[in-house]
Chains A and B, each alone.
Chain A
Amino acid sequence: STQFIPPYTEECRTEMYPPAGPTFRSAVSWYTVDLDSPPSDRWTALITDKKNDLLVVIKAIRDFANALVPSGRLVELVDISLPLMVETLPKPYGEEIKAIAAVAGLPLGEVVLYNIFYEVFTV
């Protein structure tokens, strides 16, 4: 009965593997990143494949930022100031982020934000 009262604690589940049913949405596909190729090329195939999904997430983050600061100043700050930060990021990450932004056709500052989200989010 406790599973119908928050925090909805269940009896320990068993026989859940192989994953199926309502707690399993899908398997995850594999991609290769060749570290011998230049940082600007490493992610091209993957980003080309996932571009639309990435656009959706970045838009959601932008919407969230605009909801927090309705004047649009926060997104403006991200778009103006974070591209400057990319040059300070350690190699090869800055180069890779620039290439991802270019392939996805996204503002560089917003891709930088996505890549430093952990540090931002712990605020």
Chain B
Amino acid sequence: CTSVVAEDDEGNLFHARNLDFGIFMGWDVKNKSWIISEKLKPLVINLNFKRNNQTLFKSTNFAGYVGLLTGVKPNLFTLTMNERFNLDGGFVGILEWIFGKRDGMWMGFLMRSVLENANSYKEAQTLLVQTKLLAPAYFILGGNQTGQGCIITRSRLHSIDVLELDLKLGRWYVLETNYDHWNEPLFLDDRRTSAMKCMNQTTQTNITPKTMYDVLSTKPVLNKLTVYTTLMQVSGGKLESFIRDCPNPCMPW
């Protein structure tokens, strides 16, 4: 996955993501594609969650999945998550759950709960930082005011790091793939360098959801695992998503 929160010159916040899923779950040699990634594509939907006949939040989902991976609470915050691989991973959390230790939260359910219940960027951030999880993850959160955007690096039990936008330092965007931001990505899977190069080339002045779509359309940021691209703008709660293909030649991940 690749998620980005960016702020333009006028303080508008944009949030975009590629959802990549299905690695090592069967390769279709004939079509040069991942089997599960391809089969998930028809299940991609946008959801409008309503309460009292009003939109509470919106999301891009897979039909049949009741948790959330990508969503916006209109005018308040935007939220995505990226997978974080760690030895102390979901297996331990699931075992604990089975044996009755159930103080951790399932990731997709936490995402939905945050979009449902948090009413500000700060409130959402606190929940994402403090709630115990069953598996490690990266949460990418965008707010509705200048400087409100961050990557929360989570282990199962606690927050390891929060990297925030910092305009004074020239950090007008935060970008996460699937590696801790303070470490180099695996050389075989370096989507970060390409994505950052394109973000820097775009410049803060020209950043918009459209130019973020350009960044997320550049290989290898776009790859054979990419199922969908979602573009979000907190102001007005805009969310649009597109099912993607990566024509050959294209990296499998």
Could you list which residues of chain A lie within 8 angstroms of chain B, going by C-beta atoms? 3-4, 6-17, 19, 22-36, 43, 46-47, 49-50, 53-54, 56-57, 60-61, 63-64, 67, 85, 88-90, 93, 96-97, 100, 104, 111, 114-123
A3 to B219 alpha-carbon distance, docked (Å): 8
**Is A22 touching B228 in the complex (CB atoms < 8 A)?**
no
**Is A122 touching B84 in the complex (CB atoms < 8 A)?**
yes
A36 to B235 alpha-carbon distance, docked (Å): 25
**Is A57 touching B213 in the complex (CB atoms < 8 A)?**
no
Q: Total number of A-B contacts with CB less than 8 angstroms?
A: 204
B40 close to A (CB within 8 Å) = yes
Residues in B with CB closer than 8 Å to A54 are 43, 63-64
**Is B251 touching A8 in the complex (CB atoms < 8 A)?**
yes
**Is A67 touching B86 in the complex (CB atoms < 8 A)?**
no
**Is A47 touching B63 in the complex (CB atoms < 8 A)?**
yes
**Is A22 touching B90 in the complex (CB atoms < 8 A)?**
no
Sample (26) of A-B pairs whose CB atoms are under 8 Å apart: A8-B251, A13-B198, A13-B214, A13-B218, A16-B217, A17-B211, A17-B213, A22-B247, A28-B60, A32-B50, A43-B66, A56-B39, A60-B35, A67-B26, A88-B97, A88-B102, A93-B67, A93-B109, A100-B66, A104-B64, A118-B90, A118-B106, A118-B137, A119-B90, A121-B90, A123-B89
Q: Which of B51, B85, B213 contacts A16 (CB 8 A)?
A: B213
Q: Which residue of A lies closest to B35 (CB)?
A: A60
Could you list which residues of chain B lie within 8 angstroms of chain A, going by C-beta atoms? 25-26, 35-36, 39-53, 56, 60, 63-67, 83-86, 89-91, 93-94, 97-98, 102, 105-109, 116, 134-137, 188, 190, 194, 197-198, 201-202, 209-211, 213-215, 217-220, 222, 228, 240-247, 249-251
Residues in A with CB closer than 8 Å to B213 are 16-17, 19
Q: Which of A14, A46, A123 contacts B214 (CB 8 A)?
A: A14
Nearest CB on A from B30, distance (A): 15
Given that A8-B251, A14-B214 are contacting pairs, would A26 and B106 also be in contact in the complex, using a CB cutoff of 8 Å? no
Given that A8-B220, A12-B218 are contacting pairs, would A122 and B135 also be in contact in the complex, using a CB cutoff of 8 Å? yes
A19 to B64 alpha-carbon distance, docked (Å): 26
